[in-house]
Amino acid sequence: MRRFLSFLALTVAGSALGDIAAAERLESVYTDLNADRDCAVFSMNEEGGEFANMVCAGWRGYPVFIFSGDLRETVFYGFMPDPAKPPAWESFTAFNSTGPKVEWRIGTAESRAVPVATIHRWFVNDDPEQPSKATEVLAVAKVGQVDRRDGCVVGLVLATGNPQANAQARRIADERAEKFRCGRDERVLVGSRLPSFSRSE
């Protein structure tokens, strides 16, 4: 696992990056997230089914980590603070899963393209046998950088019945993600019926 992460770090040519330029408008790029095709399992219950931890292809060498258990997931985008252990668990209380596409908001640092944040659609449901009843939420997350491995959920936007959800999520990503202090700052919440969400170290 450590060798794999070291290889990923080389793909972004490790340099300590300065502050990401506060461009008037960041750009979006999209990557697919297909667990069967794009991910490798590095830890799981020997009998299967209870939990599985995966590392997946992200954007230009920035990995995506999925930690799942009990029909719930937590996702870390970019480089984790400690590759030897999972990051803080951030997830919805109800059963949940993530969608098959990740939107990356891209800025620049020292003339290089750098992903500042991700926007990822989650499906949250107390009854996974009835997927039509799932509540859709856009989670905005700060991306962990090679030199500043601080990544976490910055904001949540209720997407079900909200035609402005994508624009609202991008605004949070562009205005809040880079300077957000994980575990200290309060997440931005948009929507009066957001499912319960929590963080545990």
CA distance 1 to 65: 12
CA distance 48 to 151: 28
Relative to beta strand 152-158, strand 188-190 is parallel
Place of tokens 């506060």: 22
Q: In the structure, how many helices (H) and strands (E) does the chain have? A: 3, 12
Give pLDDT tens digits for 39-83.
Answer: 999 987 655 556 789 999 999 999 999 999 999 999 999 999 998
Alpha helices in 32-163 (DSSP H): 35-38
CA distance 117 to 109: 14
**Other beta carbons within 10 Å of 19:** 11
Query: What are the backbone angles phi and psi of residue 167, rounded to the nearest 5°?
Result: -65, -40
Contact 188, 156 (CB under 8 A): yes
CA distance 121 to 125: 13
Domain ranges of the chain: 2-14+22-194
Mean pLDDT for back-to-back runs of 10 residues, the chain (201 residues): 40 47 75 94 70 93 95 96 92 97 94 95 91 94 95 98 98 97 98 96 89
pLDDT at position 10 is: 37
Place of tokens 């794009």: 38
Pick from 49, 47, 97: which is nearest to 72 by CA?
A: 97
Residue 104 β-bridge partners: 29, 118
pLDDT at position 5 is: 42
